[in-house]
Amino acid sequence: MEHISHNFLLKTGQVLGRSFFPFFAITVIAGAVLWGPWVSLAITVMAVAAALRLI
Amino acid sequence: MGEPGNHGHGGRSRTEANLSGEAGHAQAASRRRILAHPQDWHCVIFHFVCLAAYACAFWLYQHPKLVGITGWWSRIAFVAASATMLGWISGIDVGVNFHNHSHRPIFTSHLVNRWFGRLWTFSGAWPSFFWEYCHVTIHHANLLTTKDWTLPKKRSDGSFENFQLYLFAHWPWRLMAHLSRELTMRRSLRRKSLRELAIFLLLWSIPFWIDPVMAVWLWALPHWIANTFVMGSGMYVQHSGCVEKTATEPVSHSTVFVSDFFNLTMFNIGFHLEHHEHPRVHWSELPELHRRLKQEMIDGGAHVVPYGNYHAAFLLAGDTERRKRFAEQDPGYRSR
């Protein structure tokens, strides 16, 4: 059981890591439903700035 | 991988590194498998999540009250955020994810590879055949020579042209000029190109049938961002300051980007020198290849940096002082 859950967590982590940017994009776009378009724009600007500075 | 041979139509013959030892069983296993490599399901997921992001943005654009769009300014804010994020992920989806498929098709069926390829690159404003032609036949086969028109033009001292000039002039203007000339030269190539272009235009026009204004802002604009800022800057930074491969400078044709986060989220494209040396090594096996070639790269004076393409683009887009910082070597890769 422990092996199965470890394997599941590993695979989930891999999927989230490999497809990090598309999942992040969906969060920003769909998140506008919760927090509105201005917060989505602010997150986008910060994400681009962080990428250019850090990665 | 495990199949020594010629890569690409016009490519030079290379012996590929065998990292997984799969060669002996590859044929038998391929009859049972859908995917050519177990890690390739990440490529499929990535692409479907990208398409889902487009669908989500389109749907919300059509239902403005849900996202708090109350007028022109809030609509502009939604479009700016969505188009930037969609462009960013499309640039990775085509420039990195499909890129891997163009070297090592991810399915075992040729038919599925061809059609999935077409359904892959249309969301980055490319017919898949055109992208493969540019990347494999032109870029990989002629890296940094005068025939490699996919890269920035060179100044008389051998350095690349201005970063911003390359970004804004290359896609689609220079590309269209080169492709229209080269793909119409031979009759067979012309016929294939026209067929692929027709399939692409049919697929690419779908959002315009739904809502032409939405298609301009949430489809065409993200594609411009993807090609200009993501793929264009990627091409520039991967080979800036590099020289054509020769016997005296065998590992100075590409820069290596060793940021863990960058490589985790970008299908290991940071191991670019290794990729050009062994283009048919699977993307998931590039870190292992990097470990094996590390000493050889250090001894050969390969340029290695501790960050990824994005920070490299930030440095190369700046003034002389910032550009100099790009030339600095990762401390872990300095020869003693």
User: pLDDT of B132-178, one tens digit each?
Assistant: 999 999 999 999 999 999 999 999 999 999 999 999 999 999 999 99
- Cα–Cα distances in Å, from B170 out to B8, B91, B150, B165, B313? 23, 15, 8, 8, 16
Q: Return the residue of A nearest to B55 by Cα.
A: A26
Candidates B58, B65, B72, B85: best to mutate against A (most CBs of A within 10 A) is B85
- pTM assigned to the model: 0.92
Contact A25 B85 (CB under 8 A): yes
- From chain B, pick out residues whose CB is under 8 angstroms from the CB of A22: 46, 49-50, 52-53, 89, 93
SS3 content of chain A, % helix, strand, coil (to 5): 95, 0, 5
pLDDT digits (tens, 9 = 90+) for B173-192: 999 999 999 999 989 899 99
State the pairing for strand pair B5-6/B13-14: antiparallel
Q: Which residues of B touch A38 (CB under 8 A)?
A: 74, 77
Checking if the pLDDT of A2 tops 90, the result is: no
* Cβ contact, residue pair A29, B82, below 8 Å: yes
How high does pLDDT run on average in chain B?
A: 92
Question: Which chain B positions have a beta carbon within 8 Å of A33's beta carbon?
Answer: 60, 66-67
Strand, helix or coil for residue A11: helix
Contacts of A19 in chain B (CB under 8 A): 42, 45-46, 49
A42 to chain B: closest CA residue:
B81
Phi/psi class of residue B327: alpha, beta or left (left: φ > 0; alpha: ψ in -120 to 50)? alpha
**Predicted local distance difference test score (pLDDT) of residue B13:** 43
